[in-house]
Structure 1
Amino acid sequence: MKNSIVLFILIVLSFQIKAQKASEAENLGAMVNTKYSELAPVISADGKLLYFIVQGSPENYKFKTEKKSQEIWYSELDKSGKWGEAKHAPTSINKTDFNAAYWISPDGNRILIRGAYSNGKYIGRGVSMCNKTAEGWSEPEKLDILNYENLDLGNYDGAAFCNDGKTILFYFAESDGSSSGDIYVSFLKENGKWTEPMNLGKNINTKKYIEMSPFLASDGVTLYFSSDRPGGLGNNDIWMSKRLDDSWMKWSDPVNLGAPINTEAFDAYFSIDANSEYAYMVTSQNTIGSQDIVRIKLKEKEKPNPVVLVYGTVYNAKTKQPLSAKLYYETLPDGVNAGNALSSPIDGNYKIVLPYGKNYSFRANATNFLSESQNIDLDSARGYMEIRRDLYLYPIEVGQTIRVNNIFFDFAKSVLRPESFPELDRVVAVLNENPTMEIEMSGHTDNIGAESFNVKLSDDRAKSVRLYLLSKGISEKRVIAKGYGKSKPVASNDNEEGRQQNRRVEFTILKK
């Protein structure tokens, strides 16, 4: 591999990495750091998985042919809060002389690595995704990024994937052989391909200086990056900026994070988890080896906006067994795609990170199953939280009943509110995908109020849902509507939690 495209970490070797003061930087210790160089730490959003590079270790697969080989290793946080002994990542993600992990998903079910691969074979510059399987990591497969090969022409490059699973940041130079670089963004399209990388604009990128190693926090708006622009403490420093709108071109004026994060030497490759308590970086002072990984506690002004980590398990609702599934989440009432994830093929576990300020719907999706969506309203900002929400998938079979969550009516009314439409559009999609399916749409209430009123209200609501489906082209013969009032409770009506569960809309498969 040509020196001009050697992994971005080699930039570090051109500089002396000067550490923060020992009292302010916590060395992760001998379970992670060795007498060799540990570089480019990437922390998962839940703070429990740390991926990094080890350079020059005789245990590296490629050491015999490349003494400075860089390979991916990882450590897991144990229940006592200590990092476990570092483990060598398998050859499925350590395929070349110079490897790097750019991102690990919040739940550890996906990893983004350096290099473009096709059918597991290295084909050039770019980035590739690997998914967790029951046997380990899948073979890497490149992300199809429009015009990338004609843009990344400089000596160095790198990337940072965002926890929403649909945004990726790059740094590279568009001039052949250049050692400079700017930061770019690319977005996932509905067809699974990625948009052409777009320059983040003049408030982030400068003409005369280098911008590199971007990291977008879990809030989706706080950007950290390294630059040698004026106003720093030394060579490259870590800077912070906030995205001001959805154009990705308007940013707040970057702020230098100062000491102890920045030093008189080269500072880059900054990673934080969703809780944002610590930053993970590399130092060369008071180390076990040449370079060690440390963490530094962030000041409040250095932290991104707080977020919520939602976790749980995807289950087969009939067998109660865990399932591997794709997850999607979107904002309400507009139904805009907010992100995606995968549940584990081993235990069905998943984790996603949601910024405050929105109302979210999220669901799992798997072949031959119907999904039951969940809703979480994060309009009001609070501090970092972790919330458990298990998700259920229902086999497509006659007699199966699925609760249609995220259907909203005003109190004692039967007119659908606009935030109901994304959920009902998914019911339309199910019916279109299964053209012979016939369903009953049923409405249910709690036991508060007169029985006659509840029966009529539930019936009117079921009919409103039916009419929406018909307005989207579904044949009237395929959908019947009926209100059951309080007659079919699924929980106790003795408390508000139970009554809330009983107020629902469901559909039952009558014909497959």
Structure 2
Amino acid sequence: MKRIITVLCISLLFINFLSAQNAERTVVGGVSSKRNTEFAPSLSADGKTMIFQSDSDFGWELYESVLQDDSIWSEPTPLKEINAACDFLAGPSLSYDGNTLYFTAFIEGETETEDIYYSERIGDKEWSEPKSIGAPINTNDDYEGFPSVSSDGNSLYFIRLNFDNPVDRKSKENCFRIFVSHKNENGEWGEPQALPEIINSGCERDPKIMADNHTLIFSSIKEEGLGKYDLYQTRLQPDGSWSEPLELDYLNSDENDQSPAISASGKEIFYYSDDDIYKTAIPEKFKQMINITVKGIVKNTDGDPVESNIRVYDNETGELLANAKSSTVDGRYSLVLQGGLDYRVLFSSPNYFSQEELHELKIVESYKEIKSDVELEDNYKMEISIRDKDIEKPLSAFLSIKGGNGDMIYDDSLSLEQKSINLDLKTDQKYQVKVNVPKYPTHEEEIIFNPDTFKSQMKYAILVPFEKVKVKANVTDIVSNQKMKMKVYFKNEDEDELIVANDNEEVYLRKGNRYEVLTGSDKGYMFSSTKVVAGEGEKDEYGNYNVNMEIMRIEKGSSLNLNYITFDLNSTELDSASYFELDRVIELLNKNESIKIEIAAHTDDLGDENYNLKLSGERAKSVIKYLSSNNVSADRMIAKGYGQSKPLVPNDSDENRALNRRVELTVLESD
């Protein structure tokens, strides 16, 4: 029985060997050479750019090749900036947008061991100085290398030495373990985690995460393998686990087969074998999920390239799926999107208006490329008005606006009749605004473009603050002089403004404006009222203008002048300005439900006495009608007109006559 199983295993190995030998393993022309060893190919999303490592007289260096129209790869070009900066290079991994290159590097005097570095594309086949990816991925005492970045840019797979099994005894090859690091919400790389044992079985290297972000291909030395390192494929499952790795028997050979690379189309796999870079068509069962490549150029309205942040969202759930960037050099970008979803792609840059694109990819049957150039606007039209900051009424003003270069773009008056002006502005400029309004302090501010709140056509109100003074109301019992805690109402007679404060609370009133000041009511107390002009009088040691209010207890026969109840000439209709004080009467009656009151109206001595008597009676009824309409029982109120029969002061001047034209509240019944 044991002999049969041994024969069966040998037969299976032989069949696998024949399958591998019979697969179409084609050396990649233009890239591979007989003189040198080419290793670790990496492809852009569209499969048209390849970066790989090759040995030369100076050691390992990185090279770039581009797929020509005739499907031939161009003569490789060395990446001079990267090669010159590093003493050792290996395992390049080109981001799917083609703008960032990750690789393994050792730099004398900078690194203790091999670490992961990256460079950003700054021109056609030109790259920035290498930068360390830093902790927590890189460490001082361990090897980190052969990085592979996911298409969404949020995961990085790489290898570290396997200290438990540093060298495979049979093949004498170095052994590694595969780790992954994920970016957090702040865009920082998280603590790397080793992949599970189903992948890290003992001797692995060269992980490559495919464009679908689910398919991982890696090299592994296993007892059942054909040679030294063979290629295996596993898939990330919905529950976060990884599937049992499948041997890529259609390409594995008795040589080392390592460093896989697949473009987003998923049709061919490129890999290292026998000192060259090979390619092989991928059988259907090994193909990754259907991908769609979206690529284009982000530019402004003048056609200049723009570096843009690119966020990819699930259009149905709003979930952020990927972050990317367009190139600073030429605005190029490339995205790999999986079929089966609809995507919302947001392009944003600090000095431009954001733009969204919708890609409906729920139903796709095969790989395709979408060309989508994006134009970001850097001009906007702004309708500018000038308004009071607190009450937002329009103001007549003199307005001047300077651009970021100091040029005056507006310098004229803006009247109430004109109300606003329309200007064409640039997103990359900061505008200096100066406003002069009579009776207002000079106001200055900046208009700074904000891509999150500004629109290509928008209204903008310059809110000018009025000069204010601090005022504090002190409410006391008129008999005991005891401080009382009551609400205090400040009603501006000059503007539509009402401020409600507590006793002894500082408030800010518009300097020079006239205010009606009324206390609220409390159980057993009448309310009190007065008038002030904000900013007149003496200030206390804290810089406050004090308003002293005295209130008296409710007793039978107590009277209260309602100072702000007014009527038009010879009219019985209440002026709307009366409602504010009448609402305080309602408050008084609601808090003291047992009292009954008389509302008495008085006139001066001008006109016929009988006419004045009738007029005053009708005015008193108008007050009662308003109070009744606000749920005060009519049984608690009596209207009385006294005409000119009860003057407060002699009717011998206009001022005195104004005092005699009044409405009074008198308590008829109380507890």
Band of TM-score, shorter chain = 0.5 to 0.7
State the partner residue of 1:391.
374
2:292 aligned with 1:308: yes
Q: How much does 1:397 deviate?
A: 4.0
Compare 197-206 and 324-333 and name the one that shifted more: 324-333
Counterparts of 2:341 and 2:83 in 1: how far apart (Å)?
Answer: 36
One-letter identity of the residue aligned with 1:40:
A
State the partner residue of 2:277.
293
Counterparts of 1:281 and 1:113 in 2: how far apart (Å)?
Answer: 16
Counterparts of 1:164 and 1:479 in 2: how far apart (Å)?
Answer: 27
State the partner residue of 1:425.
none
One-letter identity of the residue aligned with 1:26:
T
8 Å CA contact 1:236–1:266 kept in 2: the answer is yes
**SS at structure 2 position matched to 1:100:** strand
For 1:201-212, list aligned pairs within 5 A.
201-206=196-201, 209-212=202-205
For 1:358-437, list aligned pairs within 5 A.
358-395=341-378, 397-399=380-382
State the partner residue of 2:229.
236
Q: How much does 1:20 deviate?
A: 6.2
Counterparts of 2:112 and 2:382 in 1: how far apart (Å)?
Answer: 50
8 Å CA contact 1:399–1:509 kept in 2: the answer is yes
The superposition leaves residues 93-128 of structure 1 with CA deviations (integer Å, 9 ceiling, x where unpaired) of 55223212531133422211213889x965654322
One-letter identity of the residue aligned with 1:184:
F
One-letter identity of the residue aligned with 2:328:
P
For 1:101-140, list aligned pairs within 5 A.
101-115=91-105, 124-134=113-123, 136-140=126-130
8 Å CA contact 2:380–2:457 kept in 1: the answer is no
Cα distance change, pair 356–324 in 1 and its aligned pair in 2 (3 A): same
Aligned mate of 2:186, from 157, 182, 191: 191
Cα distance change, pair 74–20 in 1 and its aligned pair in 2 (3 A): farther
One-letter identity of the residue aligned with 1:314:
V
Cα distance change, pair 175–324 in 1 and its aligned pair in 2 (3 A): same
2:131 aligned with 1:141: yes
State the partner residue of 2:318.
335
2:336 aligned with 1:353: yes
Aligned mate of 1:508, from 454, 457, 461: 457
8 Å CA contact 1:310–1:353 kept in 2: the answer is yes
Cα distance change, pair 92–255 in 1 and its aligned pair in 2 (3 A): closer
Aligned length: 371
The superposition leaves residues 245-288 of structure 1 with CA deviations (integer Å, 9 ceiling, x where unpaired) of 263xx0111111114x111232211111111111112232xxxx
8 Å CA contact 1:54–1:73 kept in 2: the answer is yes
Aligned mate of 2:270, from 264, 267, 280: 280
Q: Percent identity?
A: 27
2:117 aligned with 1:168: no
Counterparts of 2:87 and 2:198 in 1: how far apart (Å)?
Answer: 36
Counterparts of 1:97 and 1:358 in 2: how far apart (Å)?
Answer: 45
Q: How much does 1:371 deviate?
A: 0.8
**SS at structure 1 position matched to 2:81:** coil
State the partner residue of 1:71.
61
Q: How much does 1:162 deviate?
A: 1.5
Normalised to the residue count of structure 1, the TM-score between the two structures is 0.65
8 Å CA contact 1:32–1:75 kept in 2: the answer is no
Counterparts of 1:176 and 1:200 in 2: how far apart (Å)?
Answer: 15
Aligned mate of 1:258, from 249, 254, 279: 249
The superposition leaves residues 448-498 of structure 1 with CA deviations (integer Å, 9 ceiling, x where unpaired) of xxxxxxxxxxxxxxxxxxxxxxxxxxxxxx999xxxxxxxxxxxxxxxxxx
Q: How much does 1:395 deviate?
A: 2.1
The superposition leaves residues 111-146 of structure 1 with CA deviations (integer Å, 9 ceiling, x where unpaired) of 11213889x965654322211124831122222342
8 Å CA contact 1:163–1:218 kept in 2: the answer is yes
If asked which structure has higher relative contact order (CA below 8 Å, sep 6+), I would say: 1
State the partner residue of 1:415.
none
Q: How much does 1:507 deviate?
A: 6.5
Q: How much does 1:40 deviate?
A: 1.3
8 Å CA contact 2:93–2:146 kept in 1: the answer is no
Cα distance change, pair 144–375 in 1 and its aligned pair in 2 (3 A): farther
Counterparts of 1:133 and 1:110 in 2: how far apart (Å)?
Answer: 10
8 Å CA contact 2:231–2:257 kept in 1: the answer is yes
State the partner residue of 1:461.
none
Counterparts of 2:350 and 2:110 in 1: how far apart (Å)?
Answer: 29
One-letter identity of the residue aligned with 2:375:
Y
State the partner residue of 1:95.
85
Q: How much does 1:32 deviate?
A: 4.1
The superposition leaves residues 175-218 of structure 1 with CA deviations (integer Å, 9 ceiling, x where unpaired) of 38934322221112233320111122122222xx2122111111
Cα distance change, pair 301–34 in 1 and its aligned pair in 2 (3 A): same
Query: Where does the alignment leave 5 or more consecutive residues of structure 2 unmatched?
Result: 1-18, 168-174, 384-428, 432-451, 462-671
Query: Where does the alignment leave 5 or more consecutive residues of structure 1 unmatched?
Result: 1-18, 64-68, 285-290, 401-433, 437-477, 481-505
Q: How much does 1:399 deviate?
A: 3.6
One-letter identity of the residue aligned with 1:386:
E
Counterparts of 1:329 and 1:303 in 2: how far apart (Å)?
Answer: 24
Counterparts of 2:137 and 2:43 in 1: how far apart (Å)?
Answer: 29
The superposition leaves residues 296-343 of structure 1 with CA deviations (integer Å, 9 ceiling, x where unpaired) of 111111211110000111121x33433232322122343333223232
Counterparts of 1:117 and 1:195 in 2: how far apart (Å)?
Answer: 24
8 Å CA contact 2:312–2:323 kept in 1: the answer is yes
Cα distance change, pair 243–321 in 1 and its aligned pair in 2 (3 A): same
**SS at structure 1 position matched to 2:257:** coil
One-letter identity of the residue aligned with 1:164:
D
One-letter identity of the residue aligned with 2:373:
D
8 Å CA contact 2:91–2:147 kept in 1: the answer is no
**SS at structure 2 position matched to 1:324:** coil
8 Å CA contact 2:121–2:327 kept in 1: the answer is yes
Counterparts of 2:242 and 2:341 in 1: how far apart (Å)?
Answer: 21
Compare CA radii of gyration and give the structure with the larger one. Answer: 2
The superposition leaves residues 374-427 of structure 1 with CA deviations (integer Å, 9 ceiling, x where unpaired) of 111222342101112222322264449xxxxxxxxxxxxxxxxxxxxxxxxxxx
Aligned mate of 1:326, from 291, 294, 309: 309
Structure having the larger proportion of residues in strand: 2
Counterparts of 1:399 and 1:88 in 2: how far apart (Å)?
Answer: 50
Counterparts of 2:91 and 2:230 in 1: how far apart (Å)?
Answer: 22
Q: How much does 1:224 deviate?
A: 0.8
**CA RMSD, 1 decimal:** 3.3
State the partner residue of 1:36.
36
Counterparts of 1:164 and 1:306 in 2: how far apart (Å)?
Answer: 15
Counterparts of 2:299 and 2:30 in 1: how far apart (Å)?
Answer: 39
